[in-house]
Chains A and B, each alone.
Chain A
Amino acid sequence: MTLMKLYTLIPMMPLIASIVIGLFGRQLPKAFSHLIPIVLVLGSFLLSLYALYISYHGYVFNENLFRWMTVGQYDLNIGFMVDNLTALMMSVVTFVSLMVHIYTIEYMENDPGYSRFFSFISLFTFAMLMLVMSNNFLQLFFGWEAVGLVSYLLIGFWYKKPTAIHANMKAFLVNRVGDFGFLLGIALIMFYFGTLDYKEVFSRVDSLAGQEFMLMGSSVSLVTLISILLFIGAMGKSAQVPLHVWLPDSMEGPTPISALIHAATMVTAGIFLVTRVSPIVELSSTALSLILIVGSITALFMGILGIFQNDIKRVVAYSTLSQLGYMTIALGVSSYSLAMFHLFTHAFFKALLFLGAGSVIIGMHHDQNIMNMGNLKKYMPITWITFLLATLALVGMPLFSGFYSKESIIEAVKYSEIVGSSFAYFAAVFGVFITSLYSFRLYFIVFHGEERWRNKSVSHNHHDHGLTKNQSPHETSWMVTTPLILLAIPSVLIGFFTIEPIIKSSFLLKDIFILDSHLALSQVTEHFHGPINMALHALVTLPFWLMVLGFIVAYLLYYKNINFIKTPKVLKKVIDHKYGFDNFNEYILAPLTIRLGNVLWKYMDIKIIDNFFVNGSARTVNLFSHITKKIQTGFISQYAFVMVIGLLLFISYFILGGKS
């Protein structure tokens, strides 16, 4: 089998699973609904590992699969490019997807949409693979929108819930705002490079470095414009402020997809995109600064919101936003490989956090309010331990995977000299405290303290959800805990083992372009003396102690229940409204759109075009015929009278006219 056929199989297997289960899942025995996708996704995972093996040994695969269409002199193709960057993404995507597939068996056990759910997550795996394996911008955009579609379908999976179908439409539309920029970026690339093929575009980007572009009367650098437009696309998918509003709401979907789509894979597509187009973005320091500042704002301010959430999934969702902000910061300081590194470690521990949260939700009989939880460590030991490990990885405990990726990013920001890097440094360092605070808050409230569901008031909002006073939660079955354990292993260890190749070797760097003048990453490399040294050194740095401080504050507030801080009312209000982004969209943007639509329709279309012009011309004709009708009375005498008068007027005109 040729490599092309093999690589084609990787996305095709989940697609086949999706189609088979989507069309015939209800007719087949229930077990088929999970067996077929799991076997095929496992196949994809193994082949992805093989692809990683091949690319690791230095072979970059780049071939076209078929010609999509020909227009004039342009050929648009569908094809694959598999380098280390891609192979890494493929392995992460298929691994997390496989875990989620297994996990779903129990999570969705009694759901009437069982086979539909499997069909969708397999379809998602296909789309995500098409996105990362693409060798051109067209297919990238296809995968980009296709993952958006599946995200839409899955957020609205429980289509009876009004909140779910509001959230999925919101997610799609906000993403479309990003795609709007993305598509314009692609169109500019097509215009200036005459091709959408990565390799050709990147090889020619140097020649356009100095090109200027006229926009609104002033000239802008072309690479800056392209970079910013592409980044707007990334902002939508990777939920950066202000296009982040859809991600917290997307928690309306079933938890497995929150882990797969809204934590580990799809939301990192934007990070992947910017990394992939590093040869373009690198040439524009303006774009890099913008990326850096957007990332910093997201990392800091979304983390703060995480402290105040009471829905277990929303806490994790805000944490995801904040961590995506960290990745974006890394992009901004030209440390693409570090962004990918954090993406990589984050995929494991964040998927684990979500799946752990899902396990808690099962244990709590689908109650998601953490204020009804407590002391779950007694009832759900495996969930407890794995959740704790994920939390430690997230807060950046030395030796844990998240430590290596996040600490490297903070280091890189420190060395960076780009505009905005001092703010970014503050945001990244202070963000460590915030991360620690919200993570341990969640941990203490859920797994320690009193068993709150026992003393909650009888009436609560979710009818027939949650535990009653006398029930106790129970540990979930092996189908849930196995993925938890399998994800816990990389969450703890993978940073330790992979930081060396990522920082020291050219494993990722050979697929990334970094200008020589952007020193941040090389400084990090220079100061790196092995993973153990790095962990030891961390003990004397600020981020570590901020992390400890976050732990202590959370411990006092939520374990000891000592309320020594009071949130000021104004701040509380701002935070309750989540800085007002949703309010702006819902009370200003949406009504304005409707208003404009109505004005255009009722005034322009109906009043002016239809009533004035169309019916107006009909009326004019009518009026005219009305008048002329009156003249035609049928009486000869009247006609004769008019004729005589007319003649008189004519004659007098000529006589009088002739005289003067």
Chain B
Amino acid sequence: MTGILSLAIWTPIVLGIILLLVQNKLSTTLTYRLGNLFGFISFLVTLPLYIYFDKGFSGFQFQEIYPWINHFSINYHLGLDGISLPLVLLTSFISWLVIFISSNSIDRAIGFYISAFLILSGLMIGVFLALDAILYYVFWEAMLIPMFLLIGIWGGPNRVYATIKFFLYTVLGSLLMLVAFIYLYNQTASFAILDFYTKPLSLNIQVLIFLAFFMAFAVKIPMWPVHTWLPDAHVEAPTGGSVILAAIMLKLGGYSFIRFAMPISPDALIFLKPFLIGLSLIAIVYIAFVAIVQTDMKKLIAYSSISHMGFVTLGLFILNPLGFEGGYVQMISHGFISAALFFAIGVLYDRMHSRNISDYRGVINSMPIFGSFFVLFAMANSGLPGTSGFVGEFLVILGAMQDHFWIAFFASLTLIFGATYSLWLVKRIIFGEVKNKKIATLKDLNGKEFFVMSVLALMTLAIGIYPALITDITNQSSQMMLGLIQQSKIL
């Protein structure tokens, strides 16, 4: 089965480039149709990864390794394990949905728009599959370019400030990560991640390496206090950009913590654990309060994302199986729920051209189907059992309790505050008497929107009812990862 990983990465990139080249010669509709087909193909090529995946095996599968820059022993090295598989599927799936629905809201340069998403999708999958630090770094940095363009071209009025803030935050972090890679190369004479895992390092060095990684990944997730780029980026990004940003790009941070920072510097992780947990709890509680008072619905969901990502980091850094698995499931779950919520806001924005909560009331009167979906996803967002939103939070709270009562206590506050901002949003937008004529004449979901909402709802419910769908894939790999973390690397 070698080659299927490369296929998953390069299919969308190559198709994206093809679309870029031919789009001038095609009509808008035809461009959209072709793009949609390309998106679907790119999703299909990731399915074999799931079908042929061996759940009982904890290491990397379908590995591909070719020399790339021999002088520095840099290889084109790919591999898939239980940690990366769900994220790869999530990426290709959400990317296709974004492309599928793009014709609703994008009125100019749609070919360019779609190809940006195709290329972005390939690059993100590359990040999840790379087992060579430099290869990873290339994908990681390259990814910023399409995202930068997406916000910069199709974004809102304040997009320049937002893109620059986004860019500066991220680049600052990634540079430090590169420094860490080079240091590790000097130690191991290799850029292979697997060699990094086994290299013993002193605690001081580990702490420095961890902090370098931390700067890169904490910005991405984002953790408090380096989170302020996210609400701005979301507000300015077009719907598709927001969806990808929330559903996948944030997960790159969580994934990279698992893949690099945690196994490479495990002792530093234990050393810094109180600090990391403190930041996570601040994100959960503090950001929830900030979310409550937002007046722009996109900002509200953006802050809610940060609060939910606090659960991811809390779960990962609590360093026990329940927390780890919980943090991971939370990433996947948030991928579907936040995608759905940003899609939903897009649906409203396409019709009303406003994101102000106060411009809405009683949407359910004219859009009952949309209203029902919105209530479902808001409930999922507040962690209702039976939806995927519950699984991660529940496990993380169980895990936190094994560490300390008060950590679980503060984390559980999300039960109250998460419900507060989600349901208050529902109350103000969806329910109530119709606010004005514009809302009274709103059209309910069209076919495409209905499709997108339905599949996301199905995924949310499926994971909520039967989370073993995810955890059976991840179980072996996460146990191995936890094993690596629990082994001291100090000589």
A contact set with B: CB distance below 8 Å: 66-74, 138, 141-142, 144-146, 149, 152-153, 156, 159-160, 162, 165-166, 169, 172-173, 176-177, 179-180, 183-184, 186-188, 190-191, 213, 215, 593-594, 596-598, 600-601, 604-605, 609-610, 613-614, 618
The SS class assigned to the A binding surface is: helix
Q: How far is the CA of A186 from the CA of B415 in the complex (A)?
A: 14
Min CB distance A186 to B, Å, is 8
- Asked if B413 is at the interface (CB within 8 A of a chain A CB), the reply is yes
The answer to whether A141 touches B479, judged by C-beta atoms less than 8 angstroms apart, is no
* Bound CA–CA A72/B292 (angstroms): 36
**Contact residues, B409-426 vs A (CB, 8 A):** 409, 412-413, 415-416, 419-420, 423-424
When distances are taken between beta carbons in the complex, the residues of chain A under 8 Å from B482 are 72
A142-B385, A160-B432, A187-B397 as given contacts; A614 in contact with B289, CB under 8 Å: no
**Known A149-B384, A609-B228; contact A597-B471, beta-carbon cutoff 8 A:** no
Alpha-carbon distance A188/B403, docked complex (angstroms):
11
Instruction: Take A593-B289, A609-B228 as given contacts and tell me if A159 and B385 are in contact as well, using a CB distance cutoff of 8 Å.
Output: no
Least CB separation from A220: chain B residue:
B405
Q: Find out whether the CB atom of B386 lies under 8 angstroms from the CB atom of A142.
A: yes
List which B121-162 residues lie within 8 A (CB) of chain A. Answer: none
* Chain A residues positioned under 8 Å from B293 (CB to CB): 594, 597-598, 601
A155 to B293, CA, bound (A): 25
Hey, which chain B residues are within 8 Å of A73, CB to CB?
321
In the complex, A69 Cα to B467 Cα: how many Å? 6
Q: How far is the CB of B392 from chain A (nearest CB, A)?
A: 11
Question: Could you say which residues of chain B place their CB within 8 Å of the CB of A177?
Answer: 416
B236 within 8 A of A: no
Whether the pair A173, B419 counts as a contact (CB closer than 8 A) is: yes
Rounded to whole Å, the gap between the CB of B481 and the closest CB of chain A is 12
Q: Which of B442-491 contact A (CB under 8 A)?
A: 466-468, 471-472, 475, 479, 482
Which B residues are in CB contact (< 8 Å) with A594? 292-293
CB pair A183 B397 closer than 8 Å: yes
Q: In the docked arrangement, what's the CA distance between A74 and B362, Å? A: 45
Q: Nearest Cβ distance between residue A27 and chain B, in whole angstroms?
A: 13
Check A68–B467 contact: CB distance below 8 A.
yes
What B residues does A72 contact at CB under 8 A?
320-322, 325, 479, 482
29 A-B pairs in the complex with CB atoms less than 8 angstroms apart: A68-B468, A69-B391, A70-B471, A71-B321, A71-B471, A72-B482, A74-B321, A74-B322, A142-B390, A146-B386, A160-B362, A165-B432, A169-B424, A183-B394, A183-B415, A184-B397, A186-B398, A187-B412, A188-B405, A190-B322, A190-B401, A190-B402, A593-B292, A596-B289, A598-B293, A604-B286, A609-B225, A614-B169, A618-B168
7 closest Cβ pairs, A-B complex: A72-B321, A597-B293, A187-B401, A142-B385, A597-B289, A165-B431, A601-B290
Residues of A near B225 (CB, < 8 A) are: 609, 613
Which of A160, A172, A597 is B423 in contact with, Cβ under 8 Å? A172
Given pairs A159-B430, A190-B398, A594-B293, 12 additional interface contacts (CB within 8 A): A71-B395, A74-B322, A149-B384, A165-B432, A166-B427, A173-B420, A180-B413, A184-B408, A186-B398, A187-B397, A191-B402, A596-B289
A604 to B294, CA, bound (A): 14
Question: From residue B322, how far is it (CB to closest CB) to chain A in Å?
Answer: 5
Q: Which of B289, B321, B420, B466 has the most CB of A within 10 A?
A: B289
Mark interface residues in B366-398 (1 if CB within 8 Å of A CB, else 0): 000000000100010000111000110011011
Closest CB in chain A relative to B395 CB, distance in Å: 7
A142 to B465: give the CA distance in the assembly, Å. 10
**B246 on interface, CB distance cutoff 8 Å:** no
Selected from B290, B423, B467, B468, the residue in CB contact (under 8 A) with A600 is: B290
Please indicate the chain A residues that have their CB under 8 angstroms from the CB of B466 in the complex.
Answer: 66, 68
Question: What is the CA–CA distance of A637 and B273 in the complex, to the nearest angstrom?
Answer: 58
Q: Which residues of B contact A142 (CB under 8 A)?
A: 385-386, 390
Q: Does B433 count as interface, using CB distance less than 8 angstroms?
A: yes
Q: Is the CB of B322 within 8 A of A145?
A: no
* A66 neighbours in B (Cβ, 8 Å): 466
Does B364 belong to the interface (CB within 8 Å)? yes
Complex contacts, B290 vs chain A, CB 8 Å: 597, 600-601, 605
Q: State whether the Cβ of B400 lies closer than 8 Å to any Cβ in chain A.
A: yes
Q: Check B165 for interface membership: any CB of A closer than 8 A.
A: yes
Q: How distant is the Cα of A169 from the Cα of B482 in the complex, in angstroms?
A: 41
Residues on the B chain within 8 Å of A188, using CB: 401, 405
Listed in ascending order, the chain B residues whose CB lies under 8 Å from chain A are 165, 168-169, 225, 228, 286, 289-294, 320-322, 325-326, 362, 364-365, 375, 379, 384-386, 390-391, 394-395, 397-398, 400-402, 405, 408-409, 412-413, 415-416, 419-420, 423-424, 427, 430-433, 466-468, 471-472, 475, 479, 482
Q: In the complex, what distance in Å separates the CA atom of A73 from the CA atom of B475?
A: 10
A71-B395, A142-B386, A159-B364 known; A176 and B415 CB under 8 Å? Answer: yes
How many Å lie between the Cα of A180 and that of B472 in the bound state?
29
Q: Contacts A69-B471, A169-B424; is A187 near B228 (CB within 8 Å)?
A: no
Known: A172-B419, A177-B416, A187-B401. Contact between A600 and B286, CB under 8 A?
yes
Which of A146, A149, A186, A598 has its CB near the most chain B CB atoms (within 10 A)? Answer: A149
Interface centre among B290, B433, B471, B479, by most chain A C-beta atoms within 10 angstroms, is B290
Q: Which residues of B contact A187 (CB under 8 A)?
A: 397-398, 400-401, 408, 412
What are the residues of chain B within 8 A of A604 when measuring CB–CB? 286
In the bound complex, CA of A598 to CA of B395 (Å): 31
Q: Contact check, A71 vs B325: say whether CB atoms are below 8 A apart.
A: yes
CB contacts (< 8 Å) of B291 on chain A: these are 597
Q: Report Cα–Cα, A272/B186, bound state, in Å.
A: 64
Residues of chain B with a CB closer than 8 A to A149's CB: 379, 384
Q: Does the CB pair A600–B289 fall under 8 Å?
A: yes
B320, closest chain A residue (CB): A72
Given contacts A160-B433, A601-B293, contact A71 B385 (CB under 8 A): no
B230: shortest Cβ distance to chain A, in Å?
A: 11
Q: How far is the CB of A137 from chain B (nearest CB, A)?
A: 11
Q: Say whether, besides A70-B472, A184-B408, A165 and B416 are in contact (CB < 8 Å).
A: no
Query: Please, which residues of chain A bring their CB within 8 A of the CB of B365?
Result: 160
Is there contact, CB below 8 Å, between A173 and B408? no
Cα A165 to Cα B405 in complex, Å, equals: 35
Q: Are B384 and A180 within 8 A (Cβ)? A: no
Q: Which residues of A contact B384 (CB under 8 A)?
A: 145-146, 149
Contact indicator B415/A213 (Cβ below 8 Å)? no
Query: Are B397 and A180 in contact (CB-based, < 8 A)?
Result: no
Cα of A127 to Cα of B290 in the assembled complex, Å: 33
Given the complex of chains A and B, what is the CA–CA distance between A173 and B379 in angstroms? 12
| A593: B residues at CB distance < 8 A | 289, 292, 420
C-alpha gap A604/B391 in the complex (Å): 31
Please give, as numbers and ranges, the residues of chain B lying within 8 Å of A156 by CB-CB distance: 431
Query: When the two chains form their complex, are residues A70 and B468 in contact, meaning their CB atoms are under 8 A apart?
Result: yes
Which residues from chain B contact A618 at a C-beta distance below 8 Å?
168
Report the bound CA distance from A183 to B411 in whole Å.
Answer: 11
Q: Are B468 and A180 in contact (CB under 8 A)?
A: no
